[in-house]
Amino acid sequence: MTSPDALPTQYTPADVEGRLYQRWTDGGLFTPAVVPGAPAFSIVIPPPNVTGSLHVGHALDHSIQDALVRRQRMRGLQTLWLPGMDHAGIATQNVVERELAKEGLSRHDLGRDAFVKKVWEWKAESGGKILGQMRRLGDSVDWTRERFTMDAGLSSAVLTIFKRLYDDGLIYQAERIINWCPRCLTALSDIEVEHSDDDGELVSIRYGEGDDAIVVATTRAETMLGDTAVAVHPDDERYAHLVGREIELPLTGRHIPIVADPHVDPEFGTGAVKVTPAHDPNDFEIGQRHGLPMLTIMDERGTITAHGPFQGLDRLEARPAVVDALRQDGRIVAETRPYVHAVGHCSRCKTVVEPRVSLQWFVRVEPLARAAGDAVRDGRVKIVPAEMAPRYFEWVDNMHDWCISRQLWWGHRIPVWYGPDGSAVCVGPGEQPPEGWTQDTDVLDTWFSSALWPFSTLGWPEDTPELRAFYPTSVLVTGYDILFFWVARMMMFGLYAMDGVEPFKVIALHGMVRDQFGKKMSKSFGNVVDPLEWIDRYGADATRFTLLRGANPGGDVAVSEEWAQGSRNFCNKLWNATRFALINGAAIRELPADLTVADRWILSRLSSVVTEVDAHFENFEFAKACETLYHFAWDEFCDWYVELSKVPGMSADAPAVLGRVLDVLLRLLHPLTPFVTEELWTALTGGESIVTTTWPSADGFSDASAEAEIAGLMRLVTEVRRFRADQGLKPGQKVAATIEGLDPAYEDAVRTLLRLTPAEEGFTPTASLPVEGVTVRLDTAGAIDVAAERARLEKDLAAARKEIAQAEGKLGNEQFMAKAPEPVVTKTRARLEQARTDVQSLESRLAALPAG
């Protein structure tokens, strides 16, 4: 036991958190000793971007992972939580290019090698700020094993798997349609495209003349310059006579065929669609099926290259110009503006993305995706919650080949070299290209290297002790929004590289963080939470507990500053309870054999809480774990047992019981609120650190009779407190009372908790409360303003009776019952029942008032 003076009177997180985290890391408490064959638990952190900072989504994700890791560490498993960062190709290149622009320079002024060197310099000086922010949150990661997707080991892993996939025919180069950013001048993955509902214009254009005319609609009129067909559904009788014929494409003089394709929806619009294979992914597929030519009518910057009056215009300038020319030619049948439709934007620079045919490198995903689906279907990998599994299958079962090349300078350069005669060779790690050959200028998609993360970070392709001890990893914690992108890619590459062994046993998915009204957080809404500001204001523990208290598997998490304040108050409650226990001699020692009912009750409840919390952790139900611990700590332990322990005779050895309960409670809370529990536990027990102590196990102690007895006592006290409050009595105001039918062992406790003094001569009860077989008679005369209280109650009673009359009138009205929606009827019935209950309560309280 430590002296109570070791704890200040108030808890100030800023005085504790930095000091404790430094002590933990200096002591190597987060670094596991690799013991061959020993039970292990491992998580590799979803690597944040090197350009990133800790946002509320990170804070939730990391809080969940840290809770899992800290618990398993306390359970005695060799536990690894491996940190690291992603090089974030486009984002990082954009940051450095913006810095160069301030000096009036571009990357081309420096050249490739000098620019890449500049990026490395930026990374060393300014990148990775999020790592320090992770420390502030309390992440118990093993910093000695920190990795970066561009470090030497991971670069070797990238070359190794690229070479293996290439040699197996699973990587190929081809012209395909991809997402293209005209500003960043690179291909984009699907996850790098953000869709928003934008105002545009839908124009209907007549192709052809007379009976051969056909009308198509588009929001991108400029792409008609690259049309090579019009498509209709094979079963659409309206156009059956036109299939196989050609019509003239307006403004161009070219003639294009009308083809029948099942992709066309005959119910949408006119049932006919323009086909621009080089500038639309669906049109590209139609073009492939019908052997249509692909006409590229704009360059990589989105400038029109098609010969004619629009050549040289930006695509967005060309759009109204083309519409105007069609209007003058009498080809516009209809115009709808504004027309709201989904538009893809580059996630980094917000430029409108352009679908574009381009020569790129691809992964042939079919066999890899099939294996990724099978691993979940046969139970080797479990998705939590299970309802998310169909979404995973929908993705992996219908995955298109993955475009892995990016037209950037920052990233893993594609290891393919070209000879003067056009031949190519893939060069693996440790190999040298033929002299005089040139390397492909593209780099790999950032997701390519991060797909290797679960095993490359552990030393693959080398056979390392870490790889043998910690692969497959135990669980992947991530948001459901990237299930399709990152998770599926890790599954494919892990199974492929590790001879069919899955990269993780469990995929635990959580939702997005929203405000208290369930609204998505947005700067434009003004409801974005900065977790670092909350940490400054309320502490890391309160921030974590607020997020975890809403974290159910797969569900979105609602938070508010008010709830963060409540979590801070919870930490303060723990602090004050521990100080009280220390002041009263709390100690970790053997409990006496003659425990009282109150002692047995709190210990029985504690044993149940251990079992419940264990189950919640195993099911990834962090919200339930938080609620269980919150209510036990605040309601049962602090509000009841601590108060009961102050009453002589209510505990056989209050210091020992207080010490036992706090010891277990603080250990249960540690994974959720690591800092305050460390400070309190070490003060209470004198132990070195709660981080490496043992996780509590249910001791099987159960006393149903004690729980029932104290529950009855709690109901009695609660009911009398409610009556006192209803009568307007202040909590500390003493009232004379008699108590009949109560076990004498509890009378002192009840009187102390309820501020009831013994009845003296001349005692005249003004109220009688029968509760739990006990009758409490109180003399409230002189304690309240009877006239004012009677007036208030009569006013409330009149309002409740009016509510009854209105509700009964509605429910007795046939027209109302016939026309009102069922939820309205149900709500009216509920209001009636509540009003009737209120009337009974108010009448009882009026009757209890003294006459006069």
Phi, psi of 181, rounded to the nearest 5 degrees: -100, 115
What is the edge-to-edge ordering of all strands in the sheet holding 774-779? 756-758, 735-740, 774-779, 767-771
Classify 270 in phi/psi space as left (phi over 0), alpha (psi -120 to 50) or beta.
alpha
Q: Tell me, what DSSP letter sits at residue 461?
A: T
**DSSP string spanning 143-194?**
GGG-EETTSHHHHHHHHHHHHHHHHTT-EEEEEEEEEEETTTTEEE-GGGEE
- The one-letter code for the residue type at 350 is K
Distance set, CA 281 to CA 223, 277, 646 (Å): 13, 7, 74
Nearest to 776 by CA among 747, 741, 739, 728: 739
Closest CA to 472 of 353, 554, 380: 380
In sequence order, what DSSP letters do the residues of 57-72 get, joined into one string? HHHHHHHHHHHHHHHH
Distance between CA atoms of residues 644 and 600, nearest Å: 13
> What secondary structure does DSSP assign to 562-609, as a single string?
HHHHHHHHHHHHHHHHHHHHHHTT----PPPSS--HHHHHHHHHHHHH
Q: Nearest to residue 356, comparing CAs of 194, 520, 221, 178? A: 178
CA-nearest of 453, 438, 436 to 82 is: 453
The token pair at 336 is: 């709808």
Using CB atoms within 10 Å of the CB of residue 104, give its burial: 0 to 12 exposed, 13 to 18 middle, 19+ buried: exposed
- H or E stretch covering 478: strand 473-479
Q: In this structure, what token pair is assigned to residue 463?
A: 């056979």
Placement of tokens 């029109």 in the chain: 304
SS3 622: helix
Query: Whole-angstrom Cα distance, residue 238 to residue 218?
Result: 20
Calpha distance 354→344 (Å, rounded): 8
Which phi-psi region, left, alpha or beta, contains residue 534 (left: φ > 0; alpha: ψ -120 to 50)?
A: alpha
Beta bridge partners of 195: 344
Collapsing DSSP to helix, strand or coil, 454 comes out as helix
The position carrying tokens 């409801």 is 527
- Residue 762, both tokens: 């001349």
Q: How far is CA 1 from CA 16, 285, 333, 659, 690, in A?
A: 20, 74, 87, 9, 15
What span, in angstroms and rounded, lies between the C-alpha atoms of 310 and 225? Answer: 9
Does residue 129 have a known ligand-binding role? no
Distance CA 38, CA 32 (A): 11
Q: Please give the C-alpha separations between residue 347 and each of 236, 351, 481, in angstroms, as whole numbers.
A: 39, 8, 15
Q: What contacts 24+ positions apart, CB below 8 Å, involve 5-10?
A: 6/582, 6/683, 7/575, 7/578, 7/579, 7/582, 7/679, 7/680, 7/683, 9/579, 10/572, 10/575
Q: What is the CA 833 to chain-centroid distance, rounded? A: 40
Report CA dihedral (20, 696, 607, 617) to the nearest 10 degrees. Answer: 80
Binding region: 523
Binding region for ATP: 523
